[in-house]
Structure 1
């Protein structure tokens, strides 16, 4: 029954395939945007994706680097899909996924183990009103801060990053104030922010943030990204990311 819900699709034009399930959280353009936003150098050796889902971000990153890429995913079905995705793309010598609550990170890694930590986390705070949650529990966990709060995730990122390591986050623009306050609390200094707009006529919906552990102050607001043209088609900048 579970396999009937699965589908294999090409992952954009990147010579990758991804298996997804109709009843679980599937990768969105957010995963592509944050993957393209990462600044990976020849000195990048270890990358961690917190809340990796079916491993879309590690798959994208495998096209940019030969570094070892790790992911932690709490939901067993998403973890199983991630393992399948790694295998069908022959990436099991580069990408390694753990099925556990990311709060148990010290069971697997030492402090300061990673050059880069990245996350596309649950976007929505849970205020106790269950009427606002998704009907499917697995979608609730992926979209709402039920299993992990933003502050808990950022603290984990700080603990696992090397000194001067980079933390990358994709999130909702309306959470920016919260994010910046928490980043500074945990000595992750925001260095670059890019606002992403669905169209040029709408307010920013998504933000991409680069922060450095124990970094100096000084924030750059990068040129905006317009995701769609007015006719609904992807913008040229986004289409370039698909290649």
Structure 2
């Protein structure tokens, strides 16, 4: 067995009739990726989608079940981007999904300004203050969890540059970053339009949020009903089980 392959597993991707290769030493997909892929607004006008920080390509895989649009996944880490490419091939989606191994800040190398209908992202959640104790022992996991190569400001700047006028931006993030998120979206003229708070159980505090904005959109924010991931017995809620299908 190849030394690298000892970290890999191939699993069924929920009930989506797809499979995904994951590595134990790299960031694996979580329910956050499913939630943001299901939350995104996709219309008949949606022709081009970009997933910023695609990891092993799970969000494009999920999105492919909702649309025939062209989907691009940008990933800075080479091993993760290679995994994403293999996952696209494994699921025979090479005609629809393209994986780009590059820093998202180099977007001009790959796209024209204002050419994308939807930008979606599950970015690093945690601010990095230069303290090594914040970081995971594995550099690749630190990059996935902490704002080292990209922060909220540069993420929104990139998204705004990519999006067409009235294009959609969709992100999953932590509730404790909400004020930063809204301020930064408005800084780059992405008007927050929908927000949904996610809870592991109904009696727990919300830690995750889904937020959608429209580039140069009119003001007016809708707060959707809360999304509860698990029932009291620990099973997935009916809402989440419907997403699985």
Q: Could you say which TM-score interval applies, normalised by the shorter chain?
A: over 0.9
Q: How far did 1:95 drift? A: 0.1
Q: How far did 1:128 drift? A: 1.4
* Pairing of 1:126-165 with structure 2 (within 5 A): 126-165=128-167
Is 2:69 the partner of 1:103? no
Deviating beyond 4 angstroms after TM superposition, the runs of 4 or more aligned structure 1 residues are none
* Pairing of 1:1-243 with structure 2 (within 5 A): 1-243=3-245
**What is the CA–CA distance in structure 2 between the aligned matches of 1:104 and 1:136, rounded to whole Å?**
25
In the comparison of the two structures, how many residue pairs are matched? 243
Normalised TM-score (structure 2): 0.98
Contiguous gaps of at least 5 residues in structure 1? none
Contiguous gaps of at least 5 residues in structure 2? none
**What is the CA–CA distance in structure 2 between the aligned matches of 1:180 and 1:13, rounded to whole Å?**
34
Q: How far did 1:230 drift? A: 1.6
**What is the CA–CA distance in structure 2 between the aligned matches of 1:86 and 1:2, rounded to whole Å?**
19
The 3-state SS of whatever aligns with 2:21 is strand
Normalised TM-score (structure 1): 0.99
**What is the CA–CA distance in structure 1 between the aligned matches of 2:113 and 2:61, rounded to whole Å?**
25
**What is the CA–CA distance in structure 2 between the aligned matches of 1:128 and 1:174, rounded to whole Å?**
20
Q: How far did 1:231 drift? A: 1.6
Q: How far did 1:87 drift? A: 0.2
**What is the CA–CA distance in structure 2 between the aligned matches of 1:103 and 1:216, rounded to whole Å?**
27
